[in-house]
Amino acid sequence: PYDRVWNFSAGPSVLPQSVLEEVQRDLLNYKGHGMSVLEMSHRSKVYGSIISDAEATLRRVLKVPDNYSILFLQGGGTGEFAAAYLNLMASKSVREKQQKLGRPLACDYIVTGGWSKSGLKEVERLGANVNVVLDGVKSATTGETVYNSLPPVSEWNLGKPEETAYVYYCENETVHGVETPANFVVDAVDPSVPVICDMSSNMLSRPVDVSRFGAIVAGAQKNMGPAGVSIAIVRKDLLDRDESDPEVTRNIPSVLDWCYFDGAASMPNTPPTFSIYVCGLVFKWVEGQGIETMEKIRNERAKMVYDVIDAHPEFFHGLVDKKYRSAMNLVFTLPNAELESKFIAEAADCNMIQLKGHRSLGGIRVSLYNAMPIEGANAFVAFMKQFYENNH
Ligand code: PMP
C-alpha cells in the first residue's frame, strides 16, 4: 500500500520513490566506503565520481552537445537570474558586439509570468539595459496585464540582433501555469543572438534541442532533485573572455561566475554535495525510462486533469489559454473562495496535499512533476470528479 501522501507541491516536490529508497539504503555506508555521502569530502575520489557520473548522465539524457558545459551551482534559480546576465555581458562576443555598436546592448526579456518577471527585475537592479519583448497579455475584459497566454510573435518587440546581448525567457511559469511550447522562442529569435532559458520547472520533462540555446538554467528542486543546487548548461564560446581586461570580471562574484565553475569541474569551492548526489540518481531514473517516456507520461497526466476542467468549465475554471497550458503546474479556480478552501481541505483528508494556488494568484495549483506516478494523477482526478458531483 502507498503510505505516503500524494504531494502536489510546486517545489521542493515529489522525488521518485526508488531514488529515496536507494538514498536510504546507502545512507550510513555509501557503497562500502564506510560513511554517508553527507559526510564525504568533495575532494575524495569517491565523491569525484559521484559528481562526474551525475554530469555524464545528464549529458546523455538531454543529449547535451560537446560544445556545452554542464555546471552545478548554488544560489537557486534566483542566483541564475543574475549569473546569466553577468556572465553573458562579460563574454567576449557580446563585448565585441557592444564595442561595435558604441553603446550598451539591450537584454531582451520575454515576460510570461511571475518568474520571468523576477528574472527581469533582478537584472534591472544590476543596471542592465533591458528591453521588454512582451509582458503577458492585456485582458480582453479589464485591459489589465495578465499572465495566461502569449501574444503572437508578430507583436513581440524583439530588438535588432546587432543591438541585443541575449534574449531571456522562462519556459514554464511555475506560478501562472503558462508553458511555452518547445522551440517557440528559439524559432522566433535571430540565431546570432544567444537565448537564455530558465527551465527550473519543466527541465527533464521533455526532450530539448540544447544546441539552439546560449544557456539553459534551472534550480533542481522540481524535476531534478532536492533544493540546494542549480544547473547551468552553457555554450562554451559564451565562456570565452578577454582575461587581460580587468573590467570584464570586476562585477562578477566568484560564486556566480560560470567560468570559475567551468574551470574546476563545478568544484572551485565546496559544492552542495548531497543534493548533487541525489540529482545524479534522479538523472539515472530518467535515463532508465528515457526522456521521450517522460514527455509521454507528463502529457497523459496533465490531460487527465485538463479533461475534467474542460468537461465542467462552469465549475472548474482553467486560468490559462489552452495553447500555453503547463503540463507541470496546472492552475484553476472554483466558483468561489469557500469552495476552494473546501476542496483543499477535503483533498488533504484524502492524503493529497499542497494544492493551494500561489499567494499571488489564489485558486488551486496542482503540480504534476516527473516523479508523480500516474496513480497520483488518477487519485486527484477521481477526487475532482467526486467533488464536482457533491458540490455543483
Ligand atoms: N524560476 C522558476 C521557474 C521557479 O519556479 C523558481 C522557484 N520556484 C525560481 C526560478 C527560483 O528558484 P529558487 O527558489 O531556487 O531561487
Q: Ligand 1 centroid vs 201 CA: distance in angstroms? A: 8
Q: Is 116 a pocket residue for ligand 1 (Cβ < 6 Å)?
A: no
CATH number at residue 374: 3.90.1150.10
Does residue 25 lie within any of the structural domains? no
CATH number at residue 217: 3.40.640.10
Q: Are residues 253 and 299 in the same domain?
A: no
Q: Are residues 154 and 240 in the same domain?
A: yes
Does residue 200 lie within any of the structural domains? yes
305: which 3 cell numbers?
Answer: 486533469
Q: Are residues 373 and 273 in the same domain?
A: no
Q: Of the residues 73, 121, 168, 174, which should be mutated to test ligand 1's pocket, given the most ligand atoms within 8 Å of the CB?
A: 174
64: which 3 cell numbers?
Answer: 547535451
261: which 3 cell numbers?
Answer: 565553475
Q: How far apart are CA 102 and CA 122, in angstroms?
A: 25
198 is catalytic: yes
Q: Are residues 212 and 300 in the same domain?
A: no
Does residue 20 lie within any of the structural domains? no
Tell how far CA 77 is from the center of its chain. 8
323 is catalytic: no
Q: Are residues 226 and 306 in the same domain?
A: no
Q: Is 114 a pocket residue for ligand 1 (Cβ < 6 Å)?
A: no
Please check whether residue 263 is in contact with residue 322, taking contact to mean a CB–CB distance below 8 angstroms: no
Does residue 229 lie within any of the structural domains? yes
Nearest-atom number in ligand 1 for the CA of 79 is 16
Q: Are residues 159 and 240 in the same domain?
A: yes
Number of domains in the chain: 2
Q: Note the pTM of the prediction, 2 decimals.
A: 0.98
Note if the bond before 12 is cis, omega within 30 degrees. Answer: yes
133: which 3 cell numbers?
Answer: 519583448
Strand partners, 170: 198
Does residue 207 lie within any of the structural domains? yes
CA atoms within a 13 Å half-sphere pointing along the CA-CB vector of 46: 14
Q: Is 333 a pocket residue for ligand 1 (Cβ < 6 Å)?
A: no
Residue where a domain terminates, one of 287, 316, 344 = 287
Q: Are residues 231 and 316 in the same domain?
A: no
Tell how far CA 294 is from the center of its chain. 15
Tell how far CA 40 is from the center of its chain. 28
Per-residue pLDDT of the chain (392 residues; tens, 9 = 90+): 468 999 999 999 999 999 999 999 999 999 999 999 999 999 999 999 999 999 999 999 999 999 999 999 999 999 999 999 999 999 999 999 999 999 999 999 999 999 999 999 999 999 999 999 999 999 989 999 999 999 999 999 999 999 999 999 999 999 999 999 999 999 999 999 999 999 999 999 999 999 999 999 999 999 999 999 999 999 999 999 998 898 998 899 999 999 999 999 999 999 999 999 999 999 999 999 999 999 999 999 999 999 999 999 999 999 999 999 999 999 999 999 999 999 999 999 999 999 999 998 999 999 999 999 999 999 999 999 999 999 99
Q: Are residues 275 and 357 in the same domain?
A: no
264: which 3 cell numbers?
Answer: 574546476
Q: Is 201 a pocket residue for ligand 1 (Cβ < 6 Å)?
A: yes
Please check whether residue 209 is in contact with residue 184, taking contact to mean a CB–CB distance below 8 angstroms: no
Q: Are residues 71 and 151 in the same domain?
A: yes
Q: Are residues 251 and 372 in the same domain?
A: no
Q: Of the residues 201, 203, 365, 367, which should be mutated to test ligand 1's pocket, given the most ligand atoms within 8 Å of the CB?
A: 201
Indicate the DSSP class of residue 253: -
Q: How far apart are CA 286 and CA 283, in angstroms?
A: 5
Q: Of the residues 74, 78, 178, 369, which should be mutated to test ligand 1's pocket, given the most ligand atoms within 8 Å of the CB?
A: 78
Residue where a domain terminates, one of 246, 265, 287 = 287
Does residue 22 lie within any of the structural domains? no
Question: Measuring from atom 2 of ligand 1, which residue has the nearest CA?
Answer: 200
Q: Are residues 10 and 159 in the same domain?
A: no
Pairing of strands 230-235, 68-73: antiparallel
Q: Are residues 134 and 106 in the same domain?
A: yes
Q: How far apart are CA 238 and CA 214, in angstroms?
A: 7
Residue where a domain terminates, one of 266, 287, 308 = 287
Amino acid identity, position 261: F
340: which 3 cell numbers?
Answer: 476552494
Does residue 182 lie within any of the structural domains? yes
Boundaries of domain holding 66 = 30-287
Q: Is 11 a pocket residue for ligand 1 (Cβ < 6 Å)?
A: yes
Does residue 72 lie within any of the structural domains? yes
